[in-house]
Structures are given as structure tokens and as C-alpha cells.
Amino acid sequence: MFFPTADIEKLRRIIEVAKGDRRADLVVKKAQIVNVITEEVIEADIAICGDIIAGLGSYSGIKEIDARDLYAVPGLIDAHTHVEMSMLALSEFARLVVPRGTTAVIADPHEIANVLGKDGVKLLLDEAESSPLRLFCLVPSCVPSSPLETSGAVINVEDISELLELDGVIGLAEVMNYPGVVNANTDVIEKILAAKGKVIDGHAPGLSDKALNAYISAGISSDHESTTHDEALEKLRSGMWIMIREGSAARNLKALKSIAGNRHTMLVTDGDRSVTDIIKEGYLDYVFRRAVEEGIDEIKALQMLTLNPAEYFGINAGIIAPSRFADIVLLENLRQFRVKEVIAGGKIPEFKLFRHPEWVKRTVRAKKLTLEDIRIDRAGKARIIEVYDGEIVTGESVEFVSGIDVSRDILKAVVVERHLGSGRVGKAFVRGFGFQRGAIAQSIAHDAHNIVAVGTSDEEICRAVNRVIELQGGIVVSDGKIKAELPLPVAGIMSDEKAEIVAEKLRRVEEAIKELGCRLKSPVMTLSFIALPVIPKLKVTDLGLVDVVHFRIVDMFT
């Protein structure tokens, strides 16, 4: 068997540094190292050779960092995220989160894959090569997420097999088509078999009893959709790893804190951290602080963000120990996670701008809306989508409706197909946004990312949607005229501008939404999820109103 000379020499250097026969490239001196396995704090030097930790003890290095009175913790790992949901390019996302202690993410790029297919996944991997943020990629398993919407691409079993061979790809992403698994759908089974021997992530909201057994028996080993203690506990007892989501809109930590700290639990964002919240509050460092606020021991919280995801995914990180990646965060205060310095891959991180090719900025092919396209002429008992603040699940109510009724907070929602130019428009009634006037439209609509809008009149909805089309993607608020907008030209879901510029434009959008009377904390995030037909209970796509529980299109009127 042939081994490249460079690999042999690299390992020889690491061993020599570990023995003390060679000076390390970098030594972190006299750090208070938090050992997430033994749950103790030990003072020692950390010797780094290249991007690997060679040893702990007493060492000298070519470069040295004085870490006296500083805690050294492993770089934080987001075990389940969708980077695209930050509305930032990966390089800009990294520039925000790495200095705050996040050094690795397990990414399911199904947002960009729903627009650009496997080429979108490859684009993200290409961008990751120039970033200090470690991106471990899972192949999207459900593109589209269901047959009840129109996406811009399809990822089939052949595509999955091809992508699984790429460097940096470590498994199959959340299998959202849980009815397909439970019913042993051939297409779903083939995708699972293509990933045999690798990690297969789950997505099983509300599954229980024998249906849950059936889902797990297919080889799916995690879930991030639990919202109650009993649901999460049943899944833990069945051998699943539980990812507890704490983001901007979906916040499940308070409900699940009784199981947090179990070695089969992790803290994740699910991509649900807006650029504004990342800048103001942080990313995983914020999630850590939230866990401590909820009374979770700080080392247990740290395990959930380091050791546990590293063990689940089998990646060489998550602990400060010999042979592990040299991803280290130096903290002035552990409980507050106050970052002094970050070492990523053995270096102080540097950030480079990534230039996206022009073909990714021409993806919105929708026809402009007319009033006739979204008219609802009927009156009667109608199904209404009920949105809840802080949740991505929705409810369903039935009331007599003769059209938009602002006094009862019954607004119109539409989803416009934007990938094929088919002219298809799904319509529904929705309650919970609280608008007194105006409309909002955006090309962020999970997972297919068609254009979703909600408003108080057909005129306002059309104005907002048509401006999104002109921008080739973005978020637009209309109130007699265009009041605020955030262009998102990269696949219609991400900006190619600096994070601070994106945050300022998003701030103006959110202010304009509040002026419409909206009372939701994260209206953009909430709107994006009313079009997701794999999260209960009632949703709307370009194909119409979706009963997620029974996985079918239903009539707007009962």
C-alpha cells in the first residue's frame, strides 16, 4: 500500500512534537483546559502541530499564546443547521460565528439544493474550502421535501450516491418524508440504502409507538423536531440522539431542559438564527448561555455543543486532546462564554470574500402576479392556518370566511411558483400575523423557496410579490408603496453583501413589518415556514392548502 510522503512526514512531525523532540508550531501556555470527558478543569499547555493537537503538558513553540487565567474549551459544533437560512453567504456567516466560538457546522444544504440541485451543494463545498469554519456536509435526502410543492431541482438516489463520495460529505441529511419511511416507500428506502454505513439524520415530528419504531428501524438515528418532554424521552429510550433546537423562531430548550445534558442530546440552531440575532446576541455561544440560564450545568451544556455531536457524527473534534483538530476557544468567563481568542485549524482565523458565479443569481423565473391570479370568489366555512409566535408548527381552525377580515386577523397568504414560470399560485387564509394594512412577500419559503406572501389586500400582495420577482429574490414590505426591501440574489435566498449591510436592511424590513401591526417576534422566519409541507399541521404551497398530518392537498373550504 502506498502512502504519500507528505502524509508520512506530517504524522512524523506530530509525533515528534508530542514527545517534545520538536518545537510545536503553536503552544497555548498554561490554559485552564475544560475536559468534556472527565468533566474537570486542568491547567496545561496545548501543543499544536499544523491543524492537530499534538499534546497536553509542558511544551515550547515557535509561536506561543499566554493563556493564564483563560479557560480553553473545544470549538463549538452546530450539529444541525442550514447555513443558507442566515441569508448570508457561507464566507460571511463564518466571519460572524467563528470569532464567537463556533468552529464547525454539520450542514444540510437542502435550501440551496431545492433551488440549484446537486450543483448548489457543490457550490457550498467549494466556498467552504476557503473558510476557517469546518463545514461537514450531509446530502439532502428530500429535494423536494414532499410531492406537495414544486422545487427548482430534484436530488435522486444517483445524485445522493455521487455526492456521498465527495470530501467533506459525511452522511444523509434529515429524512423529512417520514410517512415514506413508515410506509416503506421504495424511493425513500433506496436513498437510505445509498447511505448505508454513514450517519442518517432524522426528522420525525410527533412520531410515536410503532410508527416511531418503524422509522428508527430504517437506520435513522437522530431527531431535532421534539417539542415536548414525553416525545423526546420516548425517542431517547428508543436509541435516538435528540437535538434540542434553540433559534430565533423555534425555541424548544425550555420544554426539553429536563433531558438536556444526557450524553445523547445536543444543542442546535437548525439554521434558525437571523443575521440580526447573530450580530446582537451570538450564535452557538448564545445557545450555550441560554442553556446555563435554564439551569443546565455549564460542562453538560458544553458537552452538548462539542463532544456529543463529534461522537454522533464521528468527526475528529469536540475535545481538547492529542490527535484532535486544533479548534480551541479561549474564554475569559466560562458561564458567560466570553471569548478572548479563537484558534481554528491551529491558526488565528482569517476570512476571505467568496465571489459567486453569475448563474446562481438568475433563479427567479416567476410570472408577475395579477389581481385575478389570487382572487378568492367563494365564501363559506374555511380552513385557516394558525401561526404561533416562536413555533414553526401551525394549527388549523375552521370559521366562516367571505374574504380578508382584518378585524378577526384573517389575512390572505399566497405561494407563487418561481422555478419553472408555471404561473401556479396556492392560496390560503392565515391568522396570527396581526397586520392592519399592507403585505410582505419573500423568496425564502422552506423548503422549495417559492415566493410566499401574506397581506391585507390583493393589491398589496401583488405589489410585494412583483418586486421580489424584479429583485431576483428577497424580502419586500408593501404599504401603499414599497416601504422596505432586502435583496437576496444568491439562489433567491442569500445576499452577496456584508453581514452588517444585510442586518441593517433586515432591520428596516422588520421595522416596516411592525408598522403594519405585526406582533410576531420573528415574522420573516414565521412566514417562511407556513409553506413547509412537512411540519404539522396546515400549510400552503404552490399546489394549494396542505394537510400535513394526512400528507395531502385539501380544499380551502370545508
Which residues contact residue 429 at a Cβ distance below 8 angstroms, ignoring those fewer than 6 apart?
A: 382, 383, 384, 385, 401, 404, 410, 411, 412, 413, 556
Residue type, 57: G
Share of the chain above pLDDT 90, in %: 91
**Type of residue found at 195:** A
DSSP secondary structure of 14-47: HHHHHHTSS-EEEEEEEEEEEETTTTEEEEEEEE
pLDDT reported for residue 521? 86
pLDDT of residue 4: 87
Distance of CA 505 to the CA centre of its chain: 21
H or E element that contains 201: strand 199-202
What is the average pLDDT value for the chain, to the nearest integer? 95
Sequence ranges of the chain with CATH classification 3.20.20.140 = 75-319
CATH placement of domain 5-69? 2.30.40.10
Separation in Å, CA 531 to CA 148, 224, 367, 393, 540: 10, 19, 19, 11, 5
* Residue 390 pLDDT exceeds 80: no
In 36-124, DSSP assigns E strands to 40-49, 52-57, 61-66, 71-74, 76-81, 102-107
- pLDDT value at 553 more than 70: yes
- Spatial separation of the C-alpha atoms in residues 152 and 97, rounded to whole Å: 29
List, for residues 412-464, the tens digit of each pLDDT value. 999 999 999 999 999 999 999 999 999 999 999 988 999 999 999 999 999 99
Paired sense of beta strands 40-49 and 222-223, if any: unpaired
Assess contact for 324 and 36: CB atoms under 8 A: no
**209: Cα within 13 Å, side-chain hemisphere:** 0
3-state secondary structure (DSSP) of residue 309:
helix
Mean pLDDT of 142-167: 94
Which amino acid is present at 41?
V
Q: What is the DSSP letter of 298?
A: H
Per-residue pLDDT tens over the stretch 231-285:
999 999 999 999 999 987 678 899 999 999 999 999 999 988 889 999 999 999 9
Q: What is the pLDDT of residue 36?
A: 98
CATH superfamily assigned to domain 75-319 = Metal-dependent hydrolases (3.20.20.140)
Lookup: cell for 554:
385539501
Neighbours of 385 (CB within 10 A): 23
pLDDT tens for each residue of 77-115: 999 999 999 999 999 999 999 999 999 999 999 999 999
Which whole number is the average pLDDT over 215-237?
A: 96
SS (HEC) of 62-73: EEEEECCCCEEE
**Domain limits, CATH 2.30.40.10, in the chain:** 5-69
DSSP labels, 486-501: EE--BTTTB-SS-HHH
With cell 433506496, the residue in question is: 190
Within 266-305, where are the H helices? 275-281, 284-293, 298-305
- Collect all residues with Cβ–Cβ distance below 8 Å to 454 and sequence separation of at least 6: 411, 412, 413, 414, 430, 433, 435, 439, 440, 461, 527, 530
| Contact yes or no for 199/171 (Cβ under 8 A) | yes
Tell me the whole-structure pTM to 2 decimals: 0.92
Least confident of 121-130, 133-142, 356-365, 384-393: 384-393
Q: What is the DSSP string of 392-410?
A: S-EEEEEEEESS-BGGGTE
